[in-house]
Amino acid sequence: MQLIDESAIVWSAPEHERAGRPLLVLLHGYGSHEGDLFGLAPRLPLHPVIASLRAPLRAGPGYAWYDLEGASNESRAAGADAAARGLLHWLDGVQATSVGLLGFSQGGAMSIQLMRHAPERFAFAVCLAGFVVPGEAPADARMAELVPPIFWGRGTHDTVIADSFVEATQRWLPHHATVTERIYEGLGHSVSDAELADVLAFLRPQYA
């Protein structure tokens, strides 16, 4: 289990303003940090409390959810599982009316991985420039029964995520989730204004 550093979490509201509200958890990409995705907060719905987490492992100038150096599919799966268990352990101590997930790149992969561990604990996931981690996870069958809502957005010019991962995700997701898939012409490994508009359109009914 890779534990979350609670002192590094960036919150959108002080503790006394969080009760009785949904929680939106932000999961940054490989080599980044908790301040990165928090920059999206002004463009996200106001109702949920936002918590932007720092991944547990050092990676270059930032942090990672699991190691990529010399990684095999097996080690990726083991690392993602360890990170997911740590995230779920942190959530055990958090009070919220519901929990949603929004991740970019490796953080997007983790948003799906968390669903694959405990799909009943999450209202939805937003996976931006992410993918499904290879291998099996403990609650894949249960996720296939619940088919939770997942937004999956990616660019046609993303050269960071391997084509094989994208193709595997295209095959896997429709059998395990209610998928809103969006593909952005000319977009690289990043998030565009058009994608953010689509994310907001996906999120609004989640908080209606």
The rounded mean pLDDT for the chain is 96
The whole-number pLDDT of residue 164 equals: 94
pLDDT tens readout for residues 122-151:
999 999 999 999 999 999 999 999 999 999
- The set of residues, in sequence order, having a beta carbon less than 8 Å from that of 52 and lying 6+ positions away, is 9, 10, 11, 25, 26, 28, 34, 35, 36, 37, 38, 41
pLDDT of res. 75: 85
* 174-193 residues labelled b (16+ CB within 10 A) or e (exposed): eebbebbebebeebebebbe
pLDDT of residue 161: 95
187, two tokens: 């977009």
Residue 64 pLDDT greater than 80, yes or no: yes
**What domains can you pick out in the chain, each with its CATH number?**
6-206 (3.40.50.1820)
pLDDT value for 74: 86
Does 71 have pLDDT greater than 80? Answer: no
CB neighbour class for 57 (10 Å; exposed up to 12, middle 13-18, buried from 19): middle
Q: Confirm whether pTM is higher than 0.85.
A: yes
The pLDDT-based confidence of 70 (bands split at 50, 70, 90) is low
Tens-digit pLDDT profile for residues 13-47: 999 999 999 999 999 999 999 999 999 999 999 99
- Residue 24 has what pLDDT? 98
Q: What is the pLDDT of residue 76?
A: 87
